[in-house]
Amino acid sequence: MLTIASLKKGQKAIIGEMTSKDIPLKLLEMGCLPGNHVELIQIAPFKDPLYLNINDTFLSIRRETAKLIHIELIPDE
């Protein structure tokens, strides 16, 4: 299964299932919800954390959290 952690820089996707109970509610409140868009803007040096644009909000989360959020890729236009 693909997760946000498997995105490459500049790649876009749609957020799918978020079933893990370790996903903080705060992340949902920031707009990280099934059906919303996510784009990987940048990966920090040493491969962590990830800089994302989720539903027009720019935020960064750690790789371990990103691994919990499933996605479906949007093919490049």
- Do the beta carbons of residue 49 and residue 64 sit within 8 Å? no
Which residue is it, tokens 């040493």?
46
Contact 72, 6 (CB under 8 A): no
Point out which span in 1-9, 18-26, 69-77 binds other proteins (CB under 8 A): 18-26
* Placement of tokens 């876009």 in the chain: 12
Task: State yes or no: residue 11 binds other proteins (CB under 8 A).
Answer: no
Q: Which of 1, 26, 76, 77 binds other proteins (CB under 8 A)?
A: 26
Number of H helices, E strands in the chain: 2, 5
Question: Which of the residues 34 through 63 are near other proteins (CB under 8 A)?
Answer: 34, 36, 41-42, 44-49, 51, 55-62
Residues engaged in binding other proteins (CB under 8 A): 18, 21-22, 24-31, 33-34, 36, 41-42, 44-49, 51, 55-62, 64-65
